[in-house]
Amino acid sequence: MRARRASVVAAVLAVAAAGALAAAFGIGDLLVRREGAALYEGRQPLVAHVRGHEQPLPQAAARCTNCHEGAQAIGPRLDERTLAQPLPRRGGPPSRYDAAALCRLLREGIDPAAVLLPRAMPRYQIDARACDALWAHLRSR
């Protein structure tokens, strides 16, 4: 009985130590940012649709990089400077994003200044964990 209790205590301590090491070296943050990068680049699928249509977009059409990367980008670059700094957007007053504002934009198409984005911006079915990971990735760019 004592040997079993000792092994349980040892296991709990090992898990706690691993968590402390991961936190000390930023491994947890790195994993979250990697998940966000996979979502952004389309390596991890996102479910999205165009406003007014219930049919989901093909996975290849739902990638953030389709519109926010490259010379032919139709959307703004998404990074710390363009999101977290107060900037005028789409004719509205200066606004800045935080994780909650990004999630609202992705789900509802409404930016921090309460401006409705064009229909071309997909609306995503994204949970809080995935949204936080995407935010962490964008802030690290």
pLDDT of amino acid 91: 82
Give CA–CA dist 103/131, Å, rounded: 6
Residue 52: left (phi > 0), alpha (psi -120 to 50), or beta?
left
Identify the domain containing residue 56 by its residue range. 2-140
| pLDDT tens track, the chain, 141 positions | 676 665 644 444 444 444 444 455 557 899 999 999 999 999 999 999 999 998 999 999 999 999 999 999 999 999 999 999 999 988 889 999 999 999 999 999 999 999 999 999 999 999 999 999 999 999 999
Domain total in the chain: 1
Q: 0.85 exceeded by the pTM?
A: no
pLDDT at 28: 82
